[in-house]
Structure 1
């Protein structure tokens, strides 16, 4: 008996040690998974590019996460085999029917989700958009709609892969500052408690729409614009929560922390927040003087840097603030003030509104064997790009056939895209004999493979998929969670370790 007890004790010690290693492995994975920035895609524009053109733009910038405001079947088909992680949406008009009838939820899942996976990488469903703020009469069926959709996913054996949540507006928090004192509007307590219980039960994320632009405008000068734009604050303008003494370098961080505090008031542990919408308009009406190209460019570039550093807000530093920028295209048909039509990063013809570091979003790096790729510099003068393109395809003897109409690299039909292909072809051919990547200052070397779809840039190490690095993670949880398509391998590893302990 004594010997058995000793053996059992040693076995337990071995098991505890090995389980400690398992936890270490998971913590290491959480660091590796990191944060992401995605893009919203709206369709309220007069000339909507074809699904294939939309996908070409996404892949050309290695955008790996998108949110659709509906479940457009044509676009979902075009996204197949791209690896791009897709959040589809139940429109506000559909919430009532789905919330009242489980069969309607099952039908919606079959038509808009099950019919496309696994070829199309759908990872989340957004149930409505700001339902409590925009159509409060539907609030009683919002939580039932979420449960009905989740049950339909369970029936289709897709619940392990796809999360269900609902984007809520910062409007539900009347006083977001100081963050430590922020609470949801008490009139919605019952519904919000139901939402939080669902999210915790299904291990889903809290979806938040947070716009520092509106927070700044509505503050009537209380907060400096630097605070809204992620710019460095002077010592006399430091923003500090008087209760926690946390310093807030940006209104964005404060908004997310305010929401975490509002959630904690319901006695739920920190449910990870994904920011499903944020952005800054680049144009506005006469009274929207802060809606400028300069401010939009500053906000979104600084947002990308902030999110991709992987840290959370002061109260939850270990949970990354995964974010979707609003939005890919300018939606000229949207109702409301001019600013509502001017959040897009691109015009419908694929040309960019302003220079943006989108290539940092994908996080995928594929370095060729010759020292990088030569591409057009973001924001370079158009006439300079035209001169460089003409020279590369002429005296430079670059092979520019792929950027002709109807060829793989023609779309998106922009001078920047065409110049990038021509510059790179010239550079890859001629660098060994002294060719440079300059083109009168309109070109730059990058380690990010610019290939996309069937458009393969010379020097790519992975021509079979156009050089695009498949995304490794998605909007499925905080640091510490593993992407759903990695779970079988991960749990297999855990099981193997545990078995070793037993043996």
Structure 2
């Protein structure tokens, strides 16, 4: 906590040096905690080595790095650097650890003790977005017991500088608008979140939150202005009718919804750590606003906010430091899901910049090279088709073809013998027709052109002769 400058005025000159020292330590501490880190994901088959990656992290002037496991090669590469490190217990170990202190002890012994303190491990996160997965809800209730056991294990080994937490997505809230109405989901509030807040409060840890203004904006670009999502708004503000707080950007609204949610459960003061935030630099044809211009604009602006001195905070917590990790170090070509998932990187897999970025926040905007103008800030107005991706595994394509044809109404009739799209009798053309047909039927109810990475979108009509491929129109 910063000491008020006015406090020392009546204490006599003998205390001035002590006061000055206290202020310097306090201010220094605040500056360190405001340094920006980066998320180092590894879901790519073409990424640089850990040692090269550490050099690239340094080149971005990142002072912290978060990894999604406890990869020993990465932890070795970070040895004797000044980079603070966050490691992670895999989701699949949470339930076992929650019931077994010995297993927790073994995990810490294997994954922390060999590297600490030469590698500056400072944060140990238990799982990743556990509360967003409905496939195994039992893990929800095992989460806090696992966090407690990991913390106990650290104590057993005499390690007291490592904070324990878990990253959560915004969907832990059932209400986030207006921010003052921030409320945790009823299925987790009492049984999971309240015990977690109690743990975080007792251990002086953080609520680690993943915040992506891109997603609410892209789902409602008519009512949410792009400039408001990019920290570029000059005229758009939002007045919370209950709290009376005024917002100038979407990020602050999202973070403050969590603040009010915690306050509603009786924990108004737990610090927030931005575990992930970023903006996609590319994506699929049916995705809006994912481009280099917007990604650079968002990340540069959010870094400017994080590194501001004195700290800016948010309307609900003005002047408070928000420690952070930007997502992500690389564009990762094996991340599942929509195209944006593979395009959040600050760097390409060859180590080159997707766009210039300085995570210290010290580079003036005027020193960056001009950015390419955005071309997809509005929905694509033409037709889009779904085709087999280049290099897709043949046996996997055959399985996906069978799946697509088993869904819907007459999805694959034209590629049956004597059908108008049967020839050429090739797996590529038959599967591409099936993928397009499936997507055209099911996009409105969540169907995608992905098929576990086997498919890709195209705006070039693949139809030929009397064979007309079904396409998707966004508008």
Q: Kindly tell me the number of residue pairs found equivalent between the two proteins.
A: 351
Instruction: Work out whether 1:31 is the aligned partner of 2:30.
Output: no
- Aligned-pair Cα RMSD in Å: 2.5
**Structure 2 residue aligned with 1:244:** 243
Q: Could you tell me which residue of structure 1 aligns to residue 126 of structure 2?
A: 127
- Summarize the Cα distance change of 1:137–1:233 in structure 2 as closer, same or farther, 3 Å threshold: farther
Displacement of 1:51 in angstroms is 1.1
Shift of residue 244, structure 1, vs aligned partner: 2.1
Report the equivalent of 1:109: 108
CA–CA distance in 2 between the matches of 1:173 and 1:380? Answer: 38
CA drift of 1:289 comes to 1.7
Residue 292 of structure 1, CA deviation: 1.1
Unaligned runs of 5+ in 1: 1-13, 363-376, 382-503
- 1:360-407 residue CA offsets vs partner (Å, 9 max, x unmatched): 379xxxxxxxxxxxxxx65489xxxxxxxxxxxxxxxxxxxxxxxxxx
- Could you tell me which residue of structure 2 aligns to residue 154 of structure 1? 155
Measured after TM superposition, the shift of residue 338 of structure 1 is 0.3
User: 2:266 matched to which residue of 1?
Assistant: 267
Assess if the C-alpha contact under 8 Å between 1:355 and 1:379 holds in 2. yes
Q: CA deviation at 1:269?
A: 3.2
Residues 249-268 of structure 1: per-residue CA shift (max 9 Å, x gap):
11111111111110011112
What is the aligned partner in structure 2 of residue 64 from structure 1?
63
The alignment partner of 1:114 has SS state of coil
Distance 1:25 1:105 in 2: 41
* Residues 88 and 317 of structure 1: CA distance in aligned 2, closer, same or farther (over 3 Å): same
SS, match of residue 187 in structure 2: helix
Aligned to 2:169: 169
CA contact (8 A) 1:304 1:361 kept: no
Q: What displacement does 1:61 show?
A: 2.9
Work out whether residues 91 and 128 of structure 1, in 8 Å CA contact, stay in contact via their aligned partners in 2. Answer: yes
Q: Distance in 1 between matches of 2:269 and 2:370?
A: 44
Gaps of 5+ in 2: 1-9, 372-475
Against the structure 1 CA distance between its residues 176 and 18, is the aligned structure 2 distance closer, same or farther, given a 3 Å change threshold? Answer: farther
Please give the per-residue CA displacement for 1:395-454, whole angstroms capped at 9, x wherever unaligned. xxxxxxxxxxxxxxxxxxxxxxxxxxxxxxxxxxxxxxxxxxxxxxxxxxxxxxxxxxxx
Aligned to 1:215: 216
Is the contact made by 2:86 and 2:121 (CA closer than 8 Å) also made in structure 1? yes
Post-superposition offset of 1:358: 3.2
Q: Residue 199 in 1 paired to residue 200 in 2?
A: yes
Q: Which residue of 1 aligns with 2:396?
A: none
Q: 2:60–2:358: 8 Å Cα contact kept in structure 1?
A: no
Question: Relative to structure 1, is the Cα distance of residues 169 and 53 closer, same or farther in structure 2, using a 3 angstrom cutoff?
Answer: same
Note closer, same or farther for the CA distance 1:206–1:21 as it changes in structure 2 (3 Å cut): farther
Matched with 2:392 is: none
Is 2:281–2:340's contact at 8 Å kept on the other side of the alignment?
yes
| Equivalent-residue separation in structure 1 for 2:228 and 2:275 (angstroms) | 21
Which stretch of the first structure deviates more once superposed, 142-151 or 26-35? 26-35
- Find the aligned partners of 2:99 and 2:206 in 1 and give their Cα distance: 23
- TM (normalized to structure 1)? 0.66
Structure 1 segment 370-381 matched on structure 2, within 5 A: 378-379=368-369
What residue number does 1:324 align with? Answer: 325
Q: Note the C-alpha offset of 1:216.
A: 1.1
- Tell me the distance in 1 between the aligned counterparts of 2:279 and 2:313: 21
Deviation (angstroms), 1:286: 1.7
Alpha-carbon distance, 1:232 to partner: 2.4
Provide, for residues 59-110 of structure 1, a one-character-per-residue CA deviation record: whole Å limited to 9, x for no partner: 2233210100111000100100011100001111221221121111111111
> Aligned pair 1:41/2:40, yes or no?
yes
> Contact 1:64–1:84 (CA<8 Å) still a contact in 2?
yes
Can you list the C-alpha shifts for 1:281-324, whole angstroms capped at 9, x where unaligned?
01111221211111111100111111111221111113211111
* Contact 1:238 1:247 (8 Å CA) reproduced: yes
Bigger helix fraction: 1
Question: How far apart are the structure 2 equivalents of 1:299 and 1:63?
Answer: 17
Match of 1:184 in 2: 184
Q: Secondary structure at the match of 2:361?
A: helix
Contact kept, 8 Å, 2:37 with 2:359, in 1: the verdict is no
Distance 1:24 1:137, change over 3 A: farther
Per the alignment, in what secondary structure is the counterpart of residue 300 of structure 2? helix
Give the direction of change, closer, same or farther, for the CA distance of 1:137–1:356 in structure 2 (3 Å limit): same
Superposed displacement of residue 178, structure 1: 1.1
Give the TM-score normalised by the residue count of structure 2: 0.70
**2: distance between equivalents of 1:170 and 1:22?**
43
Matched residue of 2:273: which SS? strand
**By how many angstroms is 1:231 displaced?**
0.5
Secondary structure at the residue paired with 2:87? strand
